[in-house]
Amino acid sequence: MGMKKTELEIVALSHSITQTHSYAVVLGEVNGLRRLPIVIGGFEAQAIAVALERMNPSRPLTHDLMKNFMLAFNIELHEVIITDLQEGIFYSKLVCSTTNDTIEIDSRTSDALALAVRFGCPIYTYDNILERAGILMEEDNNKKKSSPSVTSETNPEDDLKKLSLPELQTLLNEILEQEDYIKAISIRDEIKTRKKN
């Protein structure tokens, strides 16, 4: 049974509205309108956010460590495939290669995505999974989003508006110390907006 592979890209990363303390990463069909929302943990959301936003944590996060480990032994991550969906849980494989071998390794989808972003490798799923779990978007006017949006449902932006630039900068440093990268991104964006205006 030949299953059609569809390439996906990360289009958004956000706090999940449904469950407290969980996040959703939204994957979109590269040349299509279907979206695949996947609930992930906060730790993995951070790991994806850091790499998407090209932030450099002072210490390597777990996924940075995995990448460094793989590169040290000449293992390349070729692609990530979301292979299965059972009872609401997505299963994935890392397709890795050494000089003379290609190996598939089972992975949690959140970890697979955190690594895919670090290696810059493509993300795929099978069409039947998109059929079952995908959401069809309306025709998008601004067709190509340059970079994924990272949003927080709790809307800290409102509180940020009240702070002065120096206060924002101080807060950003504190948040980075706590390694809350998702919040750091919204503070950073607020600072950018201020400096533009």
Gap between the Cα atoms of 153 and 112, Å rounded = 24
The answer to whether residues 120 and 165 belong to one domain is: no
Give the pLDDT confidence of 13-64 residue by residue, as tens digits.
876 555 566 788 999 999 898 999 898 888 888 899 889 888 877 888 899 9
The answer to whether residues 118 and 181 belong to one domain is: no
Q: How many domains does one find in the chain?
A: 2
Residue 126 belongs to domain with CATH number: 3.10.690.10
The answer to whether residues 182 and 137 belong to one domain is: no
Give the pTM.
Answer: 0.77
* Residue appearing with tokens 């996924």: 63
- What residues does 79 pair with on adjacent strands? 95
Tokens of 83: 């292979």
Give the pLDDT confidence of 77-116 residue by residue, as tens digits.
999 999 999 998 999 999 999 989 999 999 999 999 999 9
Which range of residues forms the domain containing residue 63? 5-151
